Amino acid sequence: EADGGEYTCDTGDQQTTAAVLVKALPVLFKHWLKNEEVEEGRTAVLCCELTKPNVPVEWRKGDTVLQPSDKYEMRQEGTRVELFIYGADAQDV
């Protein structure tokens, strides 16, 4: 439940009210992606970490949005986000 809204302190004889506005912080990278070198046929793993857990992310290769498949697996646990590239091919670069 959101914590923003009106709060009141009431003594019975008097009361005072204030509004609380909670501003959302932007999602930032705590750990950035690092270059990965992998032998052909092996699995490459790209990993980064965000400042907020369970934020929806989109993985892209160039301009192409990647979808889960036999080739690509996306994992997300808390703030950690991973992309697995299975059976890396020289043409995957």
Question: What CATH number is associated with residue 37?
Answer: 2.60.40.10
What's the pTM value of the predicted model, to 2 decimals? 0.74
| pLDDT beyond 70 at 93 | no
Band (90; pLDDT cuts 50, 70, 90) = confident
Q: Please provide the size of the chain in residues.
A: 93
- 24 within a domain of the structure (yes/no): no
C-alpha separations of 48 from 11, 30, 84 in Å: 51, 8, 12
Our count of domains for the chain comes to 1
- 36 within a domain of the structure (yes/no): yes
- 45 within a domain of the structure (yes/no): yes
| pLDDT beyond 70 at 82 | yes
